[in-house]
């Protein structure tokens, strides 16, 4: 019996390593006091976790797995560490059937840890953020149940988004629930945790069982039907993974006393009680109707490609099923079965699913390397390779390239991605041991049937040219109804050159969406316009009308109705062709893109339910479509699909309906409850809400007992919650300052601002003009302070800058210093991380869309409001510090008058001409304070000098100068 030997590395992708940013212990050593949570279920993820401790525990599990596989299947299994300790290389030898069964067992039960994280508000699961945080008893019990039922490990860690300070405003007082486990454990535990969090927030939760094959069909294409059910009932619906049961140890599916059956049929629903009942009934009704129309179709794929898809392309498979409302039934891992079954309710959806699967399979290559004797002699035994040599070679090649390498009957087989297989063949060609043999190399490529003529060319011209150039043989073979195989064979390394030439002729595709109303205009009379474009770029273009589009279901994306195809060597022209086509389309309708916006998960149910009418209005006005993420992924990212010129407008409109919350923590005080209940505080809150559109709510919680049996009161958690629309969030700093001033006036202590009492450099000139304490006229602030010193109303400074830029005073626009419109906001994120625990104010929001930061969005909104004179008048009344909101253009003209006051040879000689100043930062400016802004020298190098002259060198203040300065200051209202 021939011996079959295979060597492969698993997992092919590197395992996730916990990043130090999320590895902080949230409670230090006090977390486990009194009632420690079971260590196997709740573990701290520490930053000093060594690689040795990880691999030591895994080695024991791997050894146990190998011993079990050998005893059950009768094969020899050896293993060693690969991929720098993040994977394992397995070497299996024995009869073919037993080796394949052993390989399947290893792929399914290999103890590879998967990881998922769920962001959650600290107040939901922790007792008091002010004291040493500890899990609430009820949460501790629920986590214990979930961990034991799903065989997952659950850890509570600080989120990298969480602020370390306790003063100022905090927008992200969050921690993370980190779930780790094997196979399906992570997906099961994540859904159960999301349901638990919904129940903690007061929602009702139920589950129902529907056949797993019907889940995607009920949800509809891109889960449109499921989203409409959630919208109508105001519920969250959590689906199980469609690949549940394929990877990882089998979880007992019997009904437990404390939870639902752990089968892939369970769907969780949370929301208001009656909404949950309606959603449950609607799911059952849709599933009953769809059962009557379900169709299925089988198709064949190479078994190793199926294993690769399930283990390495699970996300792609889930996307294919979601996009087409279909379910794909895979055979068990490692089996020799090559058939998959696709279930759907429409023939087009099933066909498109199969095409997508086949397109995915084309990425996986197979190569054979045959060793042939130099001369055949009946009297002499054939030359063979030593078994120990083969074992060493297979391990080296597999570890180095990542491909699966097989040896059988004097033939090497390589399975993997194109680069992996090519590298493996190259390594074998360089081995000294194979030089005693003749050899034949064969590559096998899979491709869609529709590309057959494209590859061969007219009268097989392309193929014949490659064969003549490289002396290789190319043969086409029919494989199934959708794909065919290309075999390219040769005796030596020239086959690699032939493969490269063949790959240059493989089709490169791009699909996009063009409204059908533009198709005839683009194609032109008799196709002349599109023929000219195709000839220019050497690209074939196909426009699908409504009928063809309906029969195809879309190209690469469901909404794509135009396909462009060209040889891979000409792929660079695909984008050029798309641009040429799109020039004939109205900007409102062209370049459909997916824009993403981050909205906290806790608002999704409200937006889908109560705010659904506004979502529909946004979609209608911007010709786009809002897609919320799958609930079970715990993602905050909402996708907006629409024309490139409209999606940013849709993002802005959507954010108008997203509330923005921030917390300000204050020291515990016995008088605070009385002050918060007083009529003055109620009137103050009403005034802030009326004038700044910011709602302030006191949050006072008393924690009785500390969990150790004593009845002593722990320090109370005193904080104030600020709530406003996200577009109005730049008023939060002003509202915070007003609240602090109110509390101080009522003898309530607040946490001091780290920049409020810092040492200020003794500069008499700066002290004489406190009104100009702003970014506009000062370069004194350090970069770090410029990003986090919000206590000095820098948010309002940005507002004033926008007011200045919108001023109708043309003189001010041309005479203003150049640095005014180039604020250093790009270092804010770095400074916030560098500041560590000293960051005391609300953090910048996460980037929205394609690189647009929320700071930019806020200033844009400020620009819109800058033209509101009534709002400007209100701002003047509310800013407590004596800073002017008068016309900025007028204040910029002070540079001329102040220049005459500060002219002195002891500082800096005047420039030769005002027009020669470049505005670049030089080394001649006066020293700046590290903590507070000082007024810059008029002849300093921060900006362009306005209105000065080289002849003005007098050092004595004359009457004219004094009168002019007085006039300007009086105009400013100072």
Q: How many CA atoms lie within 13 A of 366 on its CB side?
A: 18
Task: Report the top-level CATH class of 295-361.
Answer: alpha beta
Q: What is the per-residue pLDDT for 378?
A: 57
pLDDT tens track for 492-546: 888 999 999 999 999 999 998 888 899 999 999 988 999 999 999 999 999 998 8
Helix (H, G, I), strand (E, B) or coil at 743: helix
Question: In which residue are the tokens 């905090």 written?
Answer: 170
Q: What is the per-residue pLDDT for 767?
A: 45
What percentage of the chain reaches a pLDDT higher than 70?
68
Task: Report the top-level CATH class of 509-582.
Answer: alpha beta
Residues 376, 717: Cα–Cα separation, whole Å: 89
The number of beta carbons lying within 10 Å of the beta carbon of residue 520 is: 12
CA angle 330, 334, 336 (to 5 degrees): 80
CATH of segment(s) 659-745: 3.30.70
Helix locations, 538-643, DSSP H: 546-552, 573-582, 604-608, 612-622
Residues 474, 463: Cα–Cα separation, whole Å: 7
Residues 437, 261: Cα–Cα separation, whole Å: 59
Are the C-beta atoms of residues 652 and 726 closer than 8 Å to each other?
no
Q: How many CA atoms lie within 13 A of 108 on its CB side?
A: 19
pLDDT tens track for 746-798: 888 887 654 444 334 444 444 444 444 444 444 444 433 433 333 333 444 34
Task: Report the top-level CATH class of 365-503.
Answer: alpha beta
Give CATH superfamily name and number for 592-655: K Homology domain, type 1 (3.30.1370.10)
Q: What is the per-residue pLDDT for 872?
A: 54
Residues 924, 895: Cα–Cα separation, whole Å: 18
Contacts of 421 (CB under 8 A, 6+ apart): 365, 366, 367, 401, 403, 414, 415, 443
Residues 544, 513: Cα–Cα separation, whole Å: 10
Q: What is the radius of gyration, based on Cα positions, of the chain?
A: 35
Residues 188, 256: Cα–Cα separation, whole Å: 15
- Residue 619 token pair: 């979609």
Helix (H, G, I), strand (E, B) or coil at 364: strand
DSSP-assigned letters across all residues of 658-707: SEEEEEEE----TTHHHHHTSHHHHHHHHHHHHHH--EEEEEEE--B--S
Residues pairing with 483 in the sheet: 448
Closest CA to 394 of 409, 411, 406: 406
Q: What is the per-residue pLDDT for 914?
A: 42
Give the predicted TM-score (pTM) of the model: 0.70
The ranges assigned to domains in the chain are: 1-182, 295-361, 365-503, 509-582, 592-655, 659-745, 764-971
Q: What is the per-residue pLDDT for 852?
A: 38
Are the C-beta atoms of residues 205 and 276 closer than 8 Å to each other?
yes
Are the C-beta atoms of residues 612 and 602 closer than 8 Å to each other?
no
Q: What is the per-residue pLDDT for 791?
A: 39
- Residue 946 token pair: 């306005």
Helix (H, G, I), strand (E, B) or coil at 938: coil
Residues 60, 58: Cα–Cα separation, whole Å: 5
Are the C-beta atoms of residues 890 and 800 closer than 8 Å to each other?
no
Are the C-beta atoms of residues 878 and 738 closer than 8 Å to each other?
yes
Same fold, 295-361 and 592-655: yes
Residues pairing with 417 in the sheet: 364
Q: Give the pLDDT means over successive 10-residue stretches in the chain (974 positions).
A: 86 48 32 32 33 57 90 90 85 92 91 88 74 80 91 82 47 82 90 94 94 94 92 94 86 55 88 95 95 93 93 93 95 87 94 93 93 66 73 91 91 93 92 84 92 86 90 91 92 88 91 90 91 93 89 84 92 92 85 87 89 91 91 92 89 87 80 88 92 86 47 58 80 88 88 49 45 45 38 40 39 36 35 35 38 39 45 52 40 44 44 41 41 40 40 54 73 62
Q: What is the per-residue pLDDT for 778?
A: 41
Backbone angles phi, psi at 763, to 5 degrees: -130, 105
pLDDT tens track for 795-848: 443 443 343 334 344 333 334 333 323 333 333 333 333 333 333 333 334 443
- Residue 704 token pair: 């009785």
Are the C-beta atoms of residues 276 and 269 closer than 8 Å to each other?
yes
Residues pairing with 729 in the sheet: none
Q: What is the per-residue pLDDT for 685?
A: 92
Contacts of 248 (CB under 8 A, 6+ apart): 108, 109, 182, 183, 184, 185
Q: What is the per-residue pLDDT for 381?
A: 54
């Amino acid at each position: 019996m021939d011996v079959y030997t295979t060597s492969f590395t698993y997992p092919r992708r590197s395992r996730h390593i916990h990043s130090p940013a999320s590895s902080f212990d949230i409670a230090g050593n006090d977390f486990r006091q009194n009632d420690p949570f079971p260590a196997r279920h709740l573990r701290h993820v520490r930053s000093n976790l060594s690689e040795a401790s990880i691999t030591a525990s895994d080695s024991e599990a791997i050894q146990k797995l190998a011993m079990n596989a050998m005893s059950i299947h009768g094969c020899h299994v050896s293993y060693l560490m690969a991929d720098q300790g993040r994977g394992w290389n397995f070497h299996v030898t024995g009869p073919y059937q037993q080796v394949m069964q052993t390989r399947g067992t290893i792929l399914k039960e290999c103890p590879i840890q998967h990881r998922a994280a769920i962001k959650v508000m600290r107040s939901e699961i922790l007792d008091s953020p002010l004291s040493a945080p500890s899990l609430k008893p009820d949460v501790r019990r629920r986590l214990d149940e979930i961990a034991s039922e799903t065989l997952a490990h659950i850890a509570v860690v600080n989120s990298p988004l969480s602020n370390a300070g306790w003063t100022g405003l905090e927008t992200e007082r969050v921690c993370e629930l980190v779930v780790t486990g094997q196979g399906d454990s992570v997906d099961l535990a994540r859904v159960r945790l999301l349901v638990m969090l919904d129940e903690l927030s007061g929602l009702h939760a139920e589950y129902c069982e529907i056949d797993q094959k019907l889940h995607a069909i009920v949800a509809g294409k891109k889960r449109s039907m499921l989203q409409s059910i959630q919208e109508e009932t105001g519920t969250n619906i959590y689906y199980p993974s469609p690949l549940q049961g394929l990877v990882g140890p089998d979880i007992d599916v019997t009904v437990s006393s404390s939870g639902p059956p752990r089968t892939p049929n369970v769907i969780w629903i949370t929301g208001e009680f009656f909404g949950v009942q309606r959603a449950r009934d609607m799911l059952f009704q849709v599933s009953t109707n769809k059962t009557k129309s379900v169709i299925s179709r089988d198709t064949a794929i190479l078994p190793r490609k199926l294993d690769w898809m399930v283990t390495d392309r699970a996300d792609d498979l889930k996307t294919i099923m979601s996009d087409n409302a279909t379910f794909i039934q895979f055979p068990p891992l490692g089996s020799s079965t090559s058939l998959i079954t696709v279930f759907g309710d429409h023939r087009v959806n099933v066909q498109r699913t199969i095409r997508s699967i086949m397109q995915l399979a084309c990425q996986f290559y197979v190569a054979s390397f045959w060793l042939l004797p130099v001369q055949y002699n009946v009297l002499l035994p054939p030359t063979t390779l030593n078994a120990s040599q083969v074992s060493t070679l297979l391990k080296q090649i597999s570890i180095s390239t990542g491909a699966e390498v097989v040896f059988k009957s004097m033939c090497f087989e390589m399975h993997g991605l194109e680069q992996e297989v090519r590298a493996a063949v190259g390594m074998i060609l360089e081995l000294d041991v194979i030089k005693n043999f003749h050899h034949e190399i064969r590559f096998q490529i899979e491709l869609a049937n529709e590309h057959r003529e494209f590859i061969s060319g007219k009268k097989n011209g392309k193929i014949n040219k490659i064969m003549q150039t490289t002396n290789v043989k190319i043969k086409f073979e029919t494989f199934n109804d959708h794909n065919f195989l290309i075999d390219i064979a040769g005796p030596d390394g020239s086959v690699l050159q032939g493969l490269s030439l063949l790959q240059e002729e493989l089709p490169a595709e791009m699909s996009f969406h063009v409204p059908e109303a533009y198709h005839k205009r683009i194609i032109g009379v008799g196709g002349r316009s599109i023929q000219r474009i195709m000839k220019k770029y050497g690209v074939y273009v196909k426009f699908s009308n409504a009928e063809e589009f309906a029969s195809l279901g879309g190209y690469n994306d469901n909404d794509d109705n135009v396909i462009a195809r060209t040889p891979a060597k000409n792929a660079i022209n695909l984008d050029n062709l798309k641009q040429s086509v799109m020039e004939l389309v109205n900007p409102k309708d062209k370049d459909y893109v997916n824009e993403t916006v981050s909205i906290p998960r806790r608002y999704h149910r409200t937006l889908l339910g109560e705010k659904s009418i506004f979502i529909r209005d946004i979609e209608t006005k911007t010709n786009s479509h809002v897609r919320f993420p799958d609930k079970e992924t715990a993602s905050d990212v909402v996708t907006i699909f629409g024309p490139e010129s409209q999606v940013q407008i849709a993002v802005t409109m959507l954010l108008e309906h997203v509330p923005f919350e921030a917390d300000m923590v204050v020291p515990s005080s016995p008088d605070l409850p009385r002050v918060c209940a007083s009529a003055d505080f109620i009137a103050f809150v009403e005034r802030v809400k009326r004038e700044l559109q910011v709602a302030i709510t006191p949050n006072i919680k008393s924690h009785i007992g500390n969990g150790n049996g004593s009845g002593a009161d722990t320090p109370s958690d005193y904080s104030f919650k600020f709530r406003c629309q996200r577009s109005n969030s730049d008023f939060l700093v002003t509202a915070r300052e007003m609240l602090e001033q109110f509390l101080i006036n009522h003898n309530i202590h607040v946490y001091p601002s780290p920049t409020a009492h810092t040492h200020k450099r003794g500069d008499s000139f700066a002290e004489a003009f406190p009104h100009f304490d702003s970014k506009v006229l000062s370069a004194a602030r350090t970069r770090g302070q410029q990003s986090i010193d919000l206590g000095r109303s820098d948010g309002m400074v940005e507002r004033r800058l926008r007011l200045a830029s919108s001023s109708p005073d043309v003189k001010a626009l041309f005479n203003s210093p150049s640095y005014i419109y180039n604020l250093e906001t790009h270092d804010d994120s770095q400074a916030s991380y560098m500041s560590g625990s000293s960051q005391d104010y609300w953090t910048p929001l996460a980037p929205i869309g394609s690189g647009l930061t929320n700071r930019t969005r806020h200033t844009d909104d400020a620009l819109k409001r800058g033209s509101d004179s009534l709002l400007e008048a209100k701002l003047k009344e509310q800013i407590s510090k004596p800073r002017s909101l008068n016309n900025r253009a007028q204040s910029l003209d002070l540079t001329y008058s102040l220049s005459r006051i500060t002219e002195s040879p002891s500082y800096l000689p005047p420039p030769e001409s005002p027009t020669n100043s470049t505005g670049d930062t030089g080394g001649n400016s006066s020293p700046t304070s590290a903590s507070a802004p000082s007024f810059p020298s008029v002849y300093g190098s921060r900006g362009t000098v306005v209105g000065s002259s080289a002849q003005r060198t007098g050092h004595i203040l004359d009457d004219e100068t004094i009168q002019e300065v007085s006039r300007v200051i009086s105009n400013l209202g100072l």
